[in-house]
Amino acid sequence: MPGGDGAVVERGNIVTRIDDVARLAGVSTATVSRALRGLPTVSAATRRRVLAAAEQLEYAVSPSASRLAGGRTGTVAVVVPRITRWFFGTVVETVEDHLHQAGYDLLLYNLGGREQIRQRVLRTANLHKRVDAIMLVATPLRPADLTALARLELPGITISSGSHVPGWPCVRIDDVAAARTATRHLLDLGHRRIAHISGDPDDELAFTTHLDRRRGYQEALRAAGIDPDPSLDVESQFTIDGGTRATAELLARGEPPTAIFAACDEMAMGAISALRDAGLRVPQDVSVIGVDDHDLARVLGLSTIAQPAAEQGRLAVRLLLDPLRTRTADPYAGQVPEQRGPDHPDDPPGQQPVILPTRLVVRDSTAPPRAH
Amino acid sequence: MPGGDGAVVERGNIVTRIDDVARLAGVSTATVSRALRGLPTVSAATRRRVLAAAEQLEYAVSPSASRLAGGRTGTVAVVVPRITRWFFGTVVETVEDHLHQAGYDLLLYNLGGREQIRQRVLRTANLHKRVDAIMLVATPLRPADLTALARLELPGITISSGSHVPGWPCVRIDDVAAARTATRHLLDLGHRRIAHISGDPDDELAFTTHLDRRRGYQEALRAAGIDPDPSLDVESQFTIDGGTRATAELLARGEPPTAIFAACDEMAMGAISALRDAGLRVPQDVSVIGVDDHDLARVLGLSTIAQPAAEQGRLAVRLLLDPLRTRTADPYAGQVPEQRGPDHPDDPPGQQPVILPTRLVVRDSTAPPRAH
DNA sequence: CTGAAAGCGCTTACAG
DNA sequence: CTGAAAGCGCTTACAG
């Protein structure tokens, strides 16, 4: 835009550039750049002058210019299946907090079950040159996705993912164990006819979570000498509606179970709704337990396996960012970072997934079966 | 980064640049740039060759370079109080969809009630040079915020906001009317002792929504010849917990009301929980109605005033983007846009807020009072 | 319809 | 510790 003006898009705003700061501080732009980013090769006196000038002029770097010149975007792509679901919303909330604290921008991608979007995000070069790192939350990866991801050569992390991306750490809970605990709780109460409602593998959002939870359910049954009854195992979606539909289907199949283990709290809530509609009381007629410890679980008196959603988000940000930060100085983001010592010696994230603990929370939706 | 290599941050990835495409297509980079963005000043034959070359090389523009040269970021900042709350999650989900469809990136800011974050986002030059537009969802604006926003000179839009930013359109519901309808529903059922639980003005997230809803509540009472009883009006937070606390407080004050109008569904759910804990049945002992039509409202049988959250998000994106798009061509984002005719003549968004309709949804949580 | 060249606003070796 | 200058990869008047 030589001599840019006139018909060109009006950009307006506060137009302080780095050379304005340099001029006011009486140094070169190179020195301003270094001072503002807290690089160690600047004298204290110079730094002070630069900071004062930047503040006086209300200077803010141009992210585009900084990114182009520096080769870093200071941005992380966060990919979730559906931001409206409790687990994903909670994870994103924590991730946003820690990412911004660390000076990173958060680019949000909500897949929403649309395969087309999935491909655009994962398989094209869309993320390429746009972000420094990728966080995939419960995003199922197909072989082609893995290939595309590998070609991007970007660092990343997965949360609650079944697929392993080579070189990417993973944070999750032990879904098999969580399901085992839930089922065992029902068994301990005396239940024998325990149904399971879970995710649909044909769903475009299919992820391995539900497979693991089913496995835990079946393991617990077998350990108690019970052969899993396929007619008590219904697949639907990981949503309230999915739980309602699955439960209706379950009831339509004949004699109701005395207990239902729902693969997530939202399905459990749907189950409670369907049971109520069918005139069955919870827990007198049918016990219900879920997984998550959704905000509303307490309100509904829902027994559940609590999982630390926020903690998974927090940890994921740390595992993702720590390696990035030791590479080079962060771009100036309004305040000069403290000068760092040598690399923190506290992050040896191996290739093993980091497993966070879950916890059985007994409320009012589970009780011994009546016949007992 | 002259001769960049060696110790420099390894950037890796697919390194096709615009001149690779130009060389392969046998044209200048200027022509590649124009062809890829669908500008009209390129011959069909040339365009075809450029597209083929870009595809063959899997070329993707560098957003940083494009933004720096073009002066547009192709990014919108979306600011919400708490992404985990139903209304905001639902709005963001729709907004994300439409923004990405239009080729824009979404930078997410979750205020989380932290005044410090609010200031960083709204009052500093943080957004400046970083986004082309701002969407503020239910974000309360103080005079200093308005000044700061005005200085940014960025286009923007507010959803569900009490504050008017000069030049920004606003999408919302009529909160006063919604509250009036809810209260009148309770009056029509025969209730006279109708309590109201609502948001706390001292809350850092305080927004005018709750003031409007209280006004509607009081107007409906007065229209029915009832003087609003301050002891039946409790302030708390717009959350489940807030609803629980407010209701507990209400019950502690003496004779319970026969009905509660909660300012949002989440508060209503908290109210139901508190009532149950107090041994009161809904709706036999106390009726409860909220506002929103939260996903769980149906499950809980909660009567409510439904508001179109997704529709507000969709409309907001349109009102925000339409004026932007007529200014200049969108940057290349992987596929060439169809060539546009002259500006759409279909967007005359005045300074008047766009008010979307609400709707009374009667479920099982409201019934005539027993005494009646 | 197309190209040469300037310019967007930074950061980074390099040389001192 | 600091500066001059190249370069990051695009887009845009301008001239044809």
Rounded Cα–Cα distance for residues A197 and A268 (Å): 8
A residues 52-81 lying closer than 8 A (beta carbon) to B:
58-65, 67-69, 71-73, 78
Nearest to B91 by CA among B139, B137, B140, B141: B137
Residues of B in contact with A1 (CB under 8 A): 69, 71
Count of H helices and E strands in chain B? 13, 12
Residue A335: band (very low, low, confident or very high) from pLDDT cuts 50, 70, 90 = low
Rounded Cα–Cα distance for residues B268 and A274 (Å): 21
Residue A251 resides in a domain: yes
Q: Output the distance from B70 CA to D15 C1' rounded to whole Å.
A: 21
Q: Which string of b and e fits A59-68 if b means at least 16 CB within 10 Å?
A: bbbbbbbbbb
Residue B50 resides in a domain: yes
- pLDDT score, position A340: 39
- pLDDT score, position B1: 36
CB B294 within 8 A of CB B266: yes
Q: Which residue is nearest to nucleotide D9 (CA to C1')?
A: B65
Q: Is B292 exposed, middle or buried (0-12, 13-18, 19+ CB in 10 A)?
A: buried
Shortest Cα distance from A288 to chain B (angstroms)? 15
* Same domain, yes or no: B209 and B242: yes
Residues of A in contact with B130 (CB under 8 A): 63, 105
Q: Which string of b and e fits A324-345 if b means at least 16 CB within 10 Å?
A: bbeeebbbbbbebbeeeeeeee
| pLDDT tens digits for range A4-35 | 332 222 233 457 899 999 999 999 999 999 99
CB B313 within 8 A of CB B98: yes
Residue B330: band (very low, low, confident or very high) from pLDDT cuts 50, 70, 90 = low
* Same domain, yes or no: B274 and B257: yes
Helix (H, G, I), strand (E, B) or coil at A154: coil
B150 touches chain A (CB under 8 A): no
Q: For the residues A74-90, what does the mean pLDDT come to?
A: 94
Rounded Cα–Cα distance for residues A289 and A302 (Å): 7
DSSP letter at A334 equals S
What are the DSSP calls for A98-116, one per residue?
A: HHHHTT-EEEEEE-TT-HH
Look at B89 and A84 and tell me if their CB atoms are within 8 Å.
Answer: yes
Highest mean pLDDT among A140-149, A247-256, B150-159: A247-256
Of A107, A269, A276, the CB nearest to B105: A107
* Same domain, yes or no: A183 and A296: yes
Helix (H, G, I), strand (E, B) or coil at B355: strand
Residue A218: band (very low, low, confident or very high) from pLDDT cuts 50, 70, 90 = very high
Q: Is the pLDDT of residue A106 over 90?
A: yes
Q: Is the pLDDT of residue B363 over 60?
A: yes
H or E stretch including B211?
helix B209-223
Rounded Cα–Cα distance for residues B300 and A276 (Å): 10
Q: What are the distances in angstroms from CA A269 to CA A181, A197, A241, A273, A298?
A: 19, 12, 9, 6, 11
In the structure encoding, which two tokens stand for residue B43, read together?
């011959």
- pLDDT score, position A112: 85
Q: Who contacts B213 (Cβ-Cβ below 8 Å, separation ≥6)?
A: B175, B176, B178, B179, B198, B263, B291
DSSP letter at B257 equals P
Rounded Cα–Cα distance for residues B174 and B165 (Å): 18
- pLDDT score, position B212: 92
Query: Where does A112-253 show beta strands of DSSP type E?
Result: 133-137, 156-159, 170-173, 194-199, 233-236
Shortest Cα distance from B65 to chain A (angstroms)? 6
| pLDDT tens digits for range A271-295 | 999 999 999 999 999 999 999 999 8
In the structure encoding, which two tokens stand for residue A360, read together?
């059985």
| pLDDT tens digits for range B187-233 | 999 999 999 999 865 555 556 888 899 999 999 999 999 999 999 99
Q: Who contacts A268 (Cβ-Cβ below 8 Å, separation ≥6)?
A: A243, A260, A262, A288, A289, A290, A297, A302, A304, A365
In the structure encoding, which two tokens stand for residue B15, read together?
């390194």
Q: What percent of chain A has pLDDT over 70?
A: 85
Q: Is the pLDDT of residue A84 over 60?
A: yes
Of B129, B244, B301, the CB nearest to A63: B129
Q: Which residue is nearest to nucleotide D2 (CA to C1')?
A: A31
Q: Is the pLDDT of residue B337 over 70?
A: no
Residue B145 resides in a domain: yes
Nearest to B105 by CA among B64, B157, B54: B64
| pLDDT tens digits for range B112-156 | 877 778 887 887 667 888 999 999 999 888 888 888 888 888 899
Residue B31 CB in 7 A reach of strand C: yes
Residue A294 CB in 7 A reach of strand D: no
Residue type, B145: D
CATH number assigned to the domain comprising residue B30: 1.10.260.40
Q: For the residues B73-94, what does the mean pLDDT come to?
A: 95
* Same domain, yes or no: A84 and A229: no
* Same domain, yes or no: A164 and A186: no
Residue B119 CB in 7 A reach of strand C: no
Shortest Cα distance from A175 to chain B (angstroms)? 23
Q: For the residues A212-241, what does the mean pLDDT come to?
A: 95
CA B106 to mean position of chain CA atoms: 12
Alpha-carbon dihedral angle through residues B197, B199, B203, B208, given to the nearest 10 degrees: -150
* Same domain, yes or no: B197 and B245: yes
Q: Which string of b and e fits A265-286 if b means at least 16 CB within 10 Å?
A: bbbbbbbbbbbeeeeeebbeeb
In sequence order, the β-bridge partners of residue A205 are none
Whose tokens are 């085992």? That residue is A180
| pLDDT tens digits for range B243-277 | 999 999 999 999 999 999 999 999 999 999 999 99
Q: Is the pLDDT of residue B8 over 60?
A: no
CB B304 within 8 A of CB B265: yes
What are the DSSP calls for B54-117, one per residue?
A: HHHTT----HHHHHHHHS---EEEEEES-TTSHHHHHHHHHHHHHHHHTT-EEEEEE-TT-HHH
Task: Tell me what the pLDDT averaged over chain B comes to.
Answer: 86
Q: Which of A99-103, A262-266, B1-5, B364-368 shows the lowest mean pLDDT across its residues?
A: B1-5
Q: What percent of chain B has pLDDT over 90?
A: 66
Which nucleotide shows the minimum CA-to-C1' distance to residue B5? C13
Residue A202: band (very low, low, confident or very high) from pLDDT cuts 50, 70, 90 = low
In the structure encoding, which two tokens stand for residue A288, read together?
């219900």
Residue B46 CB in 7 A reach of strand C: yes
Q: Is the pLDDT of residue A139 over 90?
A: no
Look at B152 and A65 and tell me if their CB atoms are within 8 Å.
Answer: no
Q: Which of A111-115, B204-208, B286-290 shows the lowest mean pLDDT across its residues?
A: B204-208
Residue B65 resides in a domain: no
* Same domain, yes or no: B45 and B104: no
Q: Who contacts A264 (Cβ-Cβ below 8 Å, separation ≥6)?
A: A87, A238, A290, A291, A292
CB B291 within 8 A of CB B262: yes
Q: Which bases on strand C have an atom closer than 7 Å to a protein beta carbon?
A: 1-14
- Would you tell me how many other CB atoms lie within 10 Å of the CB of residue B327? 13
- pLDDT score, position B66: 95
Look at A108 and B108 and tell me if their CB atoms are within 8 Å.
Answer: yes
Q: Output the distance from A25 CA to D1 C1' rounded to whole Å.
A: 16
Look at B62 and A84 and tell me if their CB atoms are within 8 Å.
Answer: no
CATH number assigned to the domain comprising residue A158: 3.40.50.2300
What's the helix, strand, coil split of chain B in %, to 5? Answer: 40, 15, 45
Residues 285-344, chain A, CB closer than 7 Å to nucleic strand C: 328-329, 331-332
Residues of B in contact with A69 (CB under 8 A): 1
Residue B128 resides in a domain: yes
Rounded Cα–Cα distance for residues B89 and A84 (Å): 5
Q: Output the distance from A145 CA to C2 C1' rounded to whole Å.
A: 39
Domain that holds residue A167: 75-173+309-331+348-354
Rounded Cα–Cα distance for residues A285 and A276 (Å): 10
- pLDDT score, position B370: 86
- pLDDT score, position B342: 37
Vertex B183, ends B179 and B186: CA angle to 5°? 150
Longest dimension (CA), chain B: 87
A residues 161-200 lying closer than 8 A (beta carbon) to B:
none
Q: For the residues A152-181, what does the mean pLDDT come to?
A: 92
Shortest Cα distance from B79 to chain A (angstroms)? 12
Residue A252 CB in 7 A reach of strand D: no
Nearest to B296 by CA among B270, B278, B274, B258: B270
Q: For the residues B318-336, what does the mean pLDDT come to?
A: 68
Residue B4 CB in 7 A reach of strand D: yes
Residue B217 resides in a domain: yes
Residues of A in contact with B205 (CB under 8 A): none
Whose tokens are 């032990």? That residue is A174
Structural domain count of chain B? 3
* Same domain, yes or no: B319 and B300: no
Residue B341 CB in 7 A reach of strand C: no
* Same domain, yes or no: A30 and A51: yes
Length of chain B: 372
A153 touches chain B (CB under 8 A): yes
Helix (H, G, I), strand (E, B) or coil at B124: coil
Rounded Cα–Cα distance for residues B210 and B207 (Å): 7
Q: For the residues A263-267, what does the mean pLDDT come to?
A: 96
Residue A165 resides in a domain: yes
Q: Which of A116-125, A172-181, A237-246, A293-302 shows the lowest mean pLDDT across its residues?
A: A116-125
Q: Who contacts B30 (Cβ-Cβ below 8 Å, separation ≥6)?
A: none
Residue A167 resides in a domain: yes
Higher pLDDT, B72 or B329: B72
CB B118 within 8 A of CB B163: no
* Same domain, yes or no: A207 and A291: yes
* Same domain, yes or no: A253 and A296: yes
- pLDDT score, position A5: 31
* Same domain, yes or no: B163 and B107: yes
- pLDDT score, position A128: 80
Q: Which bases on strand D have an atom closer than 7 Å to a protein beta carbon?
A: 1-14
Residues 59-88, chain A, CB closer than 7 Å to nucleic strand C: 59, 61-62, 65-66, 68-71
Q: Output the distance from B50 CA to D12 C1' rounded to whole Å.
A: 19
Helix (H, G, I), strand (E, B) or coil at A177: helix
Q: Which of A116-125, A198-207, B23-32, B122-131 shows the lowest mean pLDDT across its residues?
A: A198-207
